[in-house]
Structure 1
């Protein structure tokens, strides 16, 4: 055993050990990992937003990442619409051919569906009707942007999509899942107090925190 060479397999996380001239070793680490023995995560793989669903949560890992998918989504990046999926961390599809086959079958199944009569009557009403947000109904005739219902996770007792940004604060919709009621519940900012207005403008971004200017109005 020699603590200064590669016999002890010192390189972690799939790092490759190389003997150095004159003795000792160096580790060639995978992308996103550094450290003497490749023990430090130096890059956040979640920074590129790899998870392909607005409600998916990315977890950074050493040289990798994991997507926590919402229900009915599957695939490493939550890129697959799977009605049977319970969500959570999903494994990637085996290969590109498998993925293309999945999409082809899913597309054929979806296109075969018929749009209900009641959905045809709701088209072009300027509202996203969730029950009509399907391929067969042209995603509520495009009333639902890109086929995605942004209120899918909203559990409010009222239809928050119908009161979104109407100028009235609906407390039931004032949460992240219901898109904060389109900011209808935010109080409008008041003007900065006149006595401090000019004072704060002259001191803006000067690197010093002034208690008289440390508020949203000023």
Structure 2
């Protein structure tokens, strides 16, 4: 019996008509991976956006995206080369890949609007409002008032303990639930850092209502 099985395997190799099962410990072992690039939309996508908004200047915004789940029809296939789509906005058109960082621009009304288009010309549109983030502070006389905004998860204010640019500093953590009337006020002396750090998250984004957007960075109030 063993001899028959052995001879059958030899015949299979010569005739190239059999697909032998994988013999290793990994389920996918034995199947070739050609590092294919996925060029259609993922079932869900996560976007990470960094925004640094200098005082009275345009924000420096960078986009980082990665696929989180493949469409059911593509599961089990080998896409080791990542995802590749075309990004279109009011001022740029470029091919983007996941796990990379790309500079993007806000429009005059402080929105980030762009589309991701796949190989089938299916367009996924985004419209992310940064206006509440950029204008999250107000300088009133000798004080600065910061306020919560819809997607806020955490805001951080830094203050030196001794003198400016010298020695340790305190971290003042602010959360939506801990802000009195949604606001926090501090004096604008030299002990406070010029920047306010924030992070926030948005769900069910894009015209597909499938994606998650995480935004973080610094807003400078002077």
Q: Using structure 2 for the length normalisation, give the TM-score.
A: 0.22
* Higher RCO (CA 8 Å, separation ≥ 6 residues): 2
Specify which structure has the higher proportion of strand. Answer: 2
Specify which structure has the higher proportion of helix. Answer: 1
